[in-house]
Every structure is written in C-alpha cells, then in structure tokens.
C-alpha cells in the first residue's frame, strides 16, 4: 500500500523544539497526515515519516531563475493572446504588452509569465509560428526597454520556447506537464533552463467536459511525480523544477477545492510549488463575481491560503493588490516586514 505524507503546516516565528522546517521556507510542521487509497487519513508525528520522504519535505529548495524560494514569490501574468478568459486582447500589441510588463514590475512582480496561446477551457490550438509572433517580440522589447526581471515563457511547444529563450526568457512553464511536445524537455535540459511542470487532465479544447478522478489529490500527485521523474530522466534536475497542481485544468469546482484543502501534500514531491488560481471560474462562482476582472479579492484569499500551506510561488493577474496582501500576511504572522 502506497502511503503519502502531508505536512500539517504552521506559519510563524515561535516553533516547538521538535518542529521541522518545511522546504527551507517560512513554514514548519510537527505532524503529518498519512493518506492512502485504501484507508482513512491519520495523523502521526513528523519523526515517524520515512527518512527519504522527510528529506523531501524539509530540504531547502534551490533558487529558481535567480529567485529565492525561502520567501513567497509573485509571478505576474502577461497574456499576449486575443482570447484569454480574463484579459484577452488587452496586451496583443507590443507597446501595450511592454507597458503592462513594466507596470507589473513596478507593482512588485518577481517574475513575468508571458503566454501566446490561451489555455482556458474550450480554447483552440494556436500554430507555433503564430504563438512565436505573439511572444518573442514582446520578450525582446521588454529586454530592450531595460526589463531585468526573470521571464517565463508559458508554452507547451519547443519551437516557441526556443524563440522565447533566444529573446531572453529564463524559464519554461508548460501547462501540459511536458506531455505535448517530446522536444521540449530535451531543449530545456540542453540549455539548463528551470521549468514549471503543471498537471492537466485532457487538452484545453475538451478538459472541462466531465473530468473524472479516482482520488483527485492522489491522482494529481502521482501524475506530477511521474512527469518530474521523466524530466529527471532527460537530465532536468528536480531542483530546477516547479510543480503546479493545475487548478481548473480538467477539474471541477469540487476537485479544485479538494486540491486546495490539502495542497501541502505536494511538498512530498521535493520540488517548490507554484499555485495559479487568479480569476478562475470557481472563484467567480463561490465569490459571486461573474466578471473575471472583479475576482481579485477572491484570488488573493486563495493565494494566501496557499502560502499558509507553504506554496512558494503564486501566479497572478493583480500584482499590486497581491503584493500588498502578501506583505501584510507576512507582517501579521511574523511581526516584521517581508
């Protein structure tokens, strides 16, 4: 019987002597929830966790794209698409995209994530050259304008990643979890690029149509473990991999909530965690905000809940409001400014 160990994360400066650090970050834990597919969860003390898993839970995560994961990092979303669910068409022009990227930097983003293919439910495939035309010139223009933030290319295609990296991108964020283009992982290994591997069930065109899981938490964990192992097999080290459970990607509202409630399980992957919930449908449903642009408060609430379970990076549209919220979240827990 396979067992899974979810740390019961606590945040704050006062720790019991027996407390263990969580992934070298702000959190700590003294107990874990033991989960399996065949028995109810149970709580045990942390020192009862097998050593190999305990190392994964406690080891400090290496920097990603020059960013320390000992504190929360904010990834600003810069879509250069005409059809993204929240901001489609707003940054389709290079000038508009550069201005938006500069504004996010001024507002406190730590990294920008630039995408040229919408992956909202029901989105259609974009040809690689069109995706390159939407993203590579924007990255080049940001660099020419003096942008020094790390930049991620949000793509599942090797050709798009190659063009973006040539223009100055530092990280590859693949919503397919490196299952779409077999050339993408070797490209990242060759150029020693950090990556983000996300879980999605199905393709964007159809992933919203009745997604099914035996146990969504454990199924998503196992899928990410397999994909991280596949990346390691081609030479991408685990320390260069962000893991994203893919909230909203082939998941119902109940699936999303089950993942969020126990997202600290994913620290058992031994990789830093990225959480992307910004403006998503379930936030609008629960928060009674049909307009995606009115979902900042709900998005921030979920992001802070993720930080309280030790998530290292949050992917957001509303950078300024999120930066303010994270600063106050830290101040309230630690009595100091982040």
Contacts of 269 (CB under 8 A, 6+ apart): 56, 221, 224, 225, 228, 243
Is residue 157 annotated as part of the catalytic site, yes or no?
no
Pick left, alpha or beta for residue 124 (phi over 0 → left; psi -120 to 50 → alpha; otherwise beta).
Answer: beta
Radius of gyration of the chain (CA): 19
Q: Provide the whole-model pTM.
A: 0.94
Count of Cβ atoms closer than 10 Å to residue 140 Cβ: 17
- Predicted confidence pLDDT, tens digits, the chain (338 residues): 799 999 999 999 999 999 999 999 999 999 999 999 999 999 999 999 999 999 999 999 999 999 999 999 999 999 998 855 555 456 668 999 999 999 999 999 999 999 999 877 777 889 999 999 999 999 999 999 999 999 999 999 999 999 999 999 999 999 999 999 999 999 999 999 999 999 999 777 676 778 999 999 999 999 999 999 999 999 999 999 999 999 999 999 999 999 999 999 999 999 999 999 999 999 999 999 999 999 999 999 999 999 999 999 999 999 999 999 999 999 999 999 98
- Catalytic, out of 134, 280, 295, 323: 280
The topology (CATH level 3) of 61-334 is TIM Barrel (3.20.20)
Is residue 315 annotated as part of the catalytic site, yes or no?
yes
- Domain ranges in the chain? 61-334
Which residue bears the tokens 């990410």? 224
- Catalytic, out of 6, 134, 279, 315: 315
């Amino acid at each position: 019987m396979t067992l899974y160990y979810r740390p019961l994360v606590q945040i704050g400066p006062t720790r019991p002597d027996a407390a263990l650090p969580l992934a070298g970050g702000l959190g700590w834990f003294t107990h874990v929830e033991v989960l399996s597919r065949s028995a109810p969860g149970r709580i045990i003390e942390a020192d009862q966790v097998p050593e190999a898993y305990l190392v994964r839970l406690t080891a400090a995560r290496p920097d990603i794209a020059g960013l320390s994961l000992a504190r929360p990092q904010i990834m600003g979303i810069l879509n250069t698409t005409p059809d993204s669910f929240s901001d489609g068409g707003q940054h389709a022009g290079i000038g508009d995209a550069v201005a938006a990227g500069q504004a996010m930097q001024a507002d406190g983003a730590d990294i920008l994530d630039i995408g040229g293919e919408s992956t909202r439910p029901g989105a259609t495939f974009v040809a690689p050259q069109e995706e390159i035309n939407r993203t590579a010139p924007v990255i080049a223009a940001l660099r020419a304008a003096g942008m020094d933030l790390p930049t991620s290319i949000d793509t599942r295609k090797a050709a798009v990643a190659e063009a973006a990296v040539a223009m100055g991108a530092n990280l590859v964020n693949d919503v397919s979890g490196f299952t779409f283009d077999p050339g993408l992982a070797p490209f990242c290994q060759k150029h020693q690029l950090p990556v983000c591997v996300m879980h999605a069930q199905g393709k964007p065109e159809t992933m919203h149509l009745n997604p099914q899981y035996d146990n969504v938490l454990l199924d998503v964990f196992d899928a990410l473990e397999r994909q991280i192992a596949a990346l390691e097999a081609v030479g991408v080290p685990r320390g260069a991999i962000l893991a994203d459970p893919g909230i909203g990607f082939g998941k119902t509202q109940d699936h999303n909530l089950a993942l969020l409630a126990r997202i600290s399980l994913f620290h058992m992957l031994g990789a830093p965690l990225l959480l992307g919930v910004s403006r998503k449908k379930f936030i609008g449903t629960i928060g009674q905000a049909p307009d995606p642009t009115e979902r900042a408060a709900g998005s921030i609430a979920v992001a802070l809940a993720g930080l309280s379970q030790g998530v290292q990076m949050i992917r957001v549209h509303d950078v300024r409001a999120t930066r303010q919220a994270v600063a106050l979240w830290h101040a309230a827990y630690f009595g100091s400014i982040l």
